[in-house]
Amino acid sequence: MNSEKLRKADLLDDLKKSMSFYQALGFENLPIKLARGNQQSAMTGKGNGQSASEKKILLEALRSEIGDCTRCKLSKKRTTIVFGEGDPGAKIMFIGEAPGREEDLQGRPFVGDAGMVLTRLINKMGFQREDVYIANIVKCRPPVNRDPEMDEIETCRKFLEGQIAIIRPRVIVSLGRISAATLTGNPGLKITAVRGKFFDYKGIPVMPTFHPAYLMRSPKDKWLTWDDALRVLERIGEETGVKSNKTDI
């Protein structure tokens, strides 16, 4: 095959892969403003080879695809969709379960009381919130902060999967039972049984730990979450300078 034919075959192959990637995310149209390289990297999941600005463009495309979403019943009572925020090139991604009251009002993840606990944890790990990426399993607040239901999780999960595919963090920290259960695909999972042990999610190590809201109710367990955080730092090769496991968050 001559070089022109090879180039056309490559382009066709890229287009096919792009179509399946965006179809899997539930996109009705390709985000046509994106350059070919951006589409290819996102669909192949090799996000670490992309610049943060390329990932930012992809995340914006994903956010606009979500639009004013009414795909599940959580849309009925929510005020604002809470997409997620942080550095698109982050090494660490924190994933909670669902927005709460403050998050629903402000449109930002983890900004209420539990958010303050998470922010302290991030700071203790040597980062600012802007250095990491924070998202939830579902993007809309469940009424009276109930747990998100399976149909809601299943409908919304393609958006989280899209965020993970674009960001491709070095490590994911899943916060609480529902986040770990969704990422492992094991709805019966107990957080006390799995926390502190890495599992794999599509080639990305995931560290399950307690949800910050639980730590507010059981502050005696904060040191366990700190222990989990130290394992995350060890995995990504960051020096914290913190020696004690019993530090407060």
Q: Rule CB under 6 A: which residues touch ligand SF4? A: 66, 69-72, 74-75, 81, 138-140, 152, 155-156
CB 82 within 8 A of CB 99: yes
Distances (CA, A) of 80 to 40, 99, 110, 219: 31, 9, 14, 30
Q: How far is the CB of 47 from ligand SF4 (least distance, A)?
A: 22
Q: Looking at beta carbons only, is 152 or 228 nearer to ligand SF4?
A: 152
Distances (CA, A) of 65 to 27, 104, 145, 211, 212: 6, 19, 26, 29, 30
Q: Looking at beta carbons only, is 139 or 211 nearer to ligand SF4?
A: 139
Q: Looking at beta carbons only, is 52 or 150 nearer to ligand SF4?
A: 150
Q: Looking at beta carbons only, is 81 or 181 nearer to ligand SF4?
A: 81
**136 Cα distance to chain centroid:** 6
Q: Whose structure tokens read 């660490």?
A: 92
Q: Looking at beta carbons only, is 150 or 216 nearer to ligand SF4?
A: 150
- Phi and psi based region of residue 114 (left: phi greater than 0; alpha: psi -120 to 50; beta: remaining): alpha
Q: How far is the CB of 94 from ligand SF4 (least distance, A)?
A: 18
Q: How far is the CB of 34 from ligand SF4 (least distance, A)?
A: 22
Q: How far is the CB of 135 from ligand SF4 (least distance, A)?
A: 11
Q: How far is the CB of 98 from ligand SF4 (least distance, A)?
A: 8
Distance CA 234, CA 103 (A): 31
**3-state secondary structure (DSSP) of residue 45:** coil
